[in-house]
Amino acid sequence: MTEEVVEPVIRIDHRGPLHGTVRVPGAKNSVLKLMAATVLADGEFNLDNVPEIVDVDIMSDLLRSIGSQVDTGSDGSLRITHSGELSTSVPADLAGRMRASINLLGPLVSRVGKIEIALPGGDDFGLRPIDMHIAGLEAMGATCTFTDGVLTVNAPRLVGADIRFSFPSVGATENLVTAAVCADGVTTIDGAAREPEVADLCRFLVAMGAHIEGIGESTLRITGVPHGALHSASHRVVPDRIQAATYIASVAVAGGEVDMIDAQRNDMQMFLHRCTEMGLV
């Protein structure tokens, strides 16, 4: 007898149009990468507009597990402090709970020269291999091995490289940019992802002292700086365009009028163009 698998269901009962005002929180696909990138330097980092989601809690636990201090404010803020040595081993039970755990790869390899991390978990949208992450790190001088579900990367010294992507991978772009900011020489990434969240990460790295050209474009040029040149920074997480689009779709279905605070039109131009064609906005 086959056991029935019951999927989680959210049921919303509502009749009639939607009205009111909502605030768009910081993007999940940005804040997790920003949190990981803080590993690159010592000091106290302050992030604002942080969404209240489980993944932020998991990433906070991941950072604590390698020796960082993370404090959550009641006003949507997050304070992350790094000092001294950090562990090179990421606990498998935490890494396996979230896809974004792989974003510790670039920053930790850059700072410590080594990382051991289990393949990430999280949302299950298919195999989602990390081949491009590994190939890019190897081009920069790293040695990567995979044994019993654990990826080990050794890189006592990263060097700049010319990297060309076969498709614009967001995760690979983010990991290789963070790895390249302190590599010797210049790294170019051709075919880089151009998502607003990638640009948000790059702007944060620049605020930390990194040298990155071509932010928001398909070719990124990163000139490595000494680790001592990087420093702590404060940053406001870019609003979540996916959540904003979900609100728009909800009003489109139910009718009504809803004001969205902090929605970024520039980050949703194509979506809003289609909505305009349909007469929704």
Task: Note the pLDDT tens digit of each residue in 127-178.
Answer: 357 889 999 999 999 999 988 888 999 998 999 999 999 999 999 999 999 9
Burial class from Cβ neighbours inside 10 Å (0-12, 13-18, 19+) for residue 75 reads exposed
pLDDT at 242: 94
Q: Spell out the domains of the chain, with CATH numbers in brackets.
A: 28-236 (3.65.10.10)
What end-to-end distance do the CA atoms of the chain give, in Å? 51
Distance CA 221, CA 188 (A): 4
Give the model's confidence band at 80: pLDDT under 50 very low, under 70 low, under 90 confident, else very high: very high
Checking if the pLDDT of 36 tops 60, the result is yes
* pLDDT band per the 50, 70, 90 thresholds, residue 280: confident
How high is the mean pLDDT of the chain? 90
Catalytic center residues? 123
Under the banding of pLDDT at 50, 70 and 90, the label for residue 99 is confident
Which of 224, 223, 162, 214 is closest to 193 using CA atoms? 214
Give the Cα separation of 222 and 93 in Å (integer): 33
Q: Is the pLDDT of residue 122 over 50?
A: no
pLDDT at 125: 37
Q: What pLDDT score was predicted for residue 121?
A: 54
Q: What is the pLDDT of residue 278?
A: 83
* pLDDT tens per residue across span 216-249: 999 999 999 998 899 999 999 999 999 999 999 9
Higher pLDDT, 273 or 219: 219
> What SS3 state is found at 91?
coil
